[in-house]
């Protein structure tokens, strides 16, 4: 026995004590009376739960409504399975008071009370929790803790964990602090992610705000939520926040020396969100030739989607330090032109009216800020050159083929009016040199 590990010796001692306790309970009339009270408490809780369960379900039934009150009722309905173990726990607690006042002891009924609490935790994990992460945490953290509490050894194990020290360099943690930090950190960052999603959905629904303002608000809320979660976790783990300040200073030096581009892109992203000159949904073209619709703005870069479905990741700094052409501002009108030519035999005075009438009939061509305008552009080698300018509410980016439909309309209108669209003619002169 002297060669056994300490944990094995402790387990063996606990099993021995548990066996002696169980034996004393089996031989004690007071213990048997407490077992009877436990059974009576469970039966009373079962009968009462069977009566009030349907009434509570009818009271909380939300129907087909989709209001806030209906959502709260659906949430409360998930807790109905807890009625039985909670009632059993309450009746057992009252029985414990009676037993201790009559017999001066109540270990058996106190054990039963803890078992009912464990059953409540098991139902809570199985039936109430719906999120997969929370259910995993409940299965592997909450239930083992409640099992240890039911067996009455949770305090002893907590003391052992507090006395066990984990050293990471110059930093010393107790095993209990480390476990507490892991569990609290998991819960805090899950709650932060959930809160961030809810707040982001709420902010994005506020259509009266500019898109850039909504994106900035989402980022600000995200930083605040996770910053608060980090500081709270440091406090739970007992880490002095001055150490965090030193770490922040070191991180600042690292940013200044080696992460200049990342810092520049981050600051540029904030400037873009504050100014709102470019935002999600805008069709832009940069000096480098990148062009497309902004589909996402992050702290480091903007994502452009081209008309053929490719995504281009452009660092935020490029939007600040280079020339950017913004073709749209959430659906503003844009002007395009289509060039064409007619023969020199044409009465060119008729052409503007023919083309402007044909283009104006297209459903996507706007009359405001200006209708179609056909202009004479020049006299070529074999044709008279024209161009028609027109306004549309969108971008001709391949998805919206405005230019193609306008050219079809020009072709059909000229054919119908008998106007010839010329093609180059060349005169080739062949000279044959005779014999000398």
Q: In the chain, what are the domain boundaries?
A: 6-163, 175-261, 334-416
pLDDT band at 243 (very low <50, low <70, confident <90, very high): low
The region of weakest confidence among 6-10, 76-80, 202-206 is 6-10
pLDDT recorded at residue 151: 80
Mean pLDDT of 399-426: 85
Residue 27 has pLDDT above 60, yes or no: no
Tell how far CA 337 is from the center of its chain.
42
pLDDT recorded at residue 18: 55
pLDDT in tens, 103-118: 666 677 777 788 888 8
Q: What is the pTM of this model?
A: 0.51
pLDDT recorded at residue 1: 45
pLDDT in tens, 149-197: 888 778 878 887 777 777 665 666 777 777 887 888 888 888 878 777 7
Residue 25 has pLDDT above 60, yes or no: no
Tell me yes or no: is domain 334-416 CATH 3.40.50.720.
no
pLDDT in tens, 271-311: 777 776 777 778 888 887 788 888 887 777 888 888 777 88
pLDDT recorded at residue 430: 75
pLDDT in tens, 328-347: 654 567 888 999 999 888 88
Who has greater pLDDT, 99 or 191? 191
Sign of the C-alpha dihedral, residues 316, 320, 321, 325?
positive
Across the chain, what does the average pLDDT equal?
Answer: 77
Instruction: Quote the strand ranges of 255-363, DSSP E.
Output: 283-286, 291-297, 301-305, 311-315, 324-326, 334-342
Rounded to whole angstroms, the Cα distance separating 83 from 88 reads: 9
Looking from the CA of 79 toward its CB, the CA atoms found within 13 Å total: 7
Q: What backbone phi and psi angles, to 5 degrees, belong to 353?
A: -65, -40
Tell how far CA 418 is from the center of its chain.
61
Residue 30 has pLDDT above 70, yes or no: no
């Amino acid at each position: 026995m002297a060669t056994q590990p300490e944990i094995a010796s402790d387990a063996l001692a606990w099993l021995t004590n548990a066996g002696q306790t169980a034996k004393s309970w089996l031989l004690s009339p007071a213990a048997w009376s407490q077992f009877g009270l436990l059974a009576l408490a469970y039966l009373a809780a079962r009968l009462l739960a069977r009566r009030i369960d349907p009434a509570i379900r009818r009271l909380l039934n939300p129907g087909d409504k989709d209001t806030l009150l209906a959502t709260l009722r659906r949430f409360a309905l998930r807790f109905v399975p807890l009625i039985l173990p909670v009632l059993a726990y309450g009746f057992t607690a009252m029985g414990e008071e009676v037993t201790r006042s009559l017999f001066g002891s109540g270990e058996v009924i106190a054990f039963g009370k803890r078992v009912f609490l464990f059953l409540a935790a098991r139902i809570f994990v199985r039936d109430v929790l719906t999120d997969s992460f929370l259910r995993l945490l409940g299965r592997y953290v909450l239930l083992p803790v409640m099992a240890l509490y039911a067996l009455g050894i949770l305090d002893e194990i907590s003391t052992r964990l507090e006395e066990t020290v984990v050293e990471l360099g110059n930093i010393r943690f107790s095993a209990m602090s480390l476990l507490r930090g892991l569990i609290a950190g998991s819960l805090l960052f899950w709650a932060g992610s959930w809160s961030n999603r809810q707040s982001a959905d709420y902010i994005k629904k506020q259509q009266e705000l500019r898109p850039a303002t909504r994106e900035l608000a989402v980022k600000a809320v995200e930083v605040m939520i996770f910053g608060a979660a980090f500081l709270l976790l440091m406090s739970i783990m007992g880490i002095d926040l001055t150490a965090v300040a030193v770490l922040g200073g070191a991180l600042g030096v690292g940013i200044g020396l080696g992460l200049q581009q990342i810092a520049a892109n981050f600051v540029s992203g904030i400037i873009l969100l504050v100014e709102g000159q470019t935002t999600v949904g805008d069709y832009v073209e940069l000096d480098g030739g990148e062009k497309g619709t902004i589909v996402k703005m992050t702290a480091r870069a903007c994502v452009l989607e081209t008309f053929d479905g490719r995504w281009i990741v452009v660092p935020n700094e490029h939007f600040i330090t280079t020339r950017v052409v913004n073709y749209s501002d959430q659906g503003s009108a844009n002007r395009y032109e289509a060039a064409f030519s007619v023969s020199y035999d044409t009465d060119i005075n008729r052409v503007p009216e023919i083309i402007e009438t044909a283009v104006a009939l297209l459903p996507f061509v706007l009359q405001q800020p200006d209708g179609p305008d056909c202009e004479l552009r020049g006299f070529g080698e074999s044709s008279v050159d024209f161009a028609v300018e027109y306004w549309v509410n969108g971008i001709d980016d391949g998805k919206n083929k405005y230019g193609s439909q306008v050219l079809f309309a020009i072709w059909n209108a000229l054919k119908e009016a008998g106007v010839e669209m010329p093609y180059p003619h060349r005169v080739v002169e062949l000279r044959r040199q005779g014999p000398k």
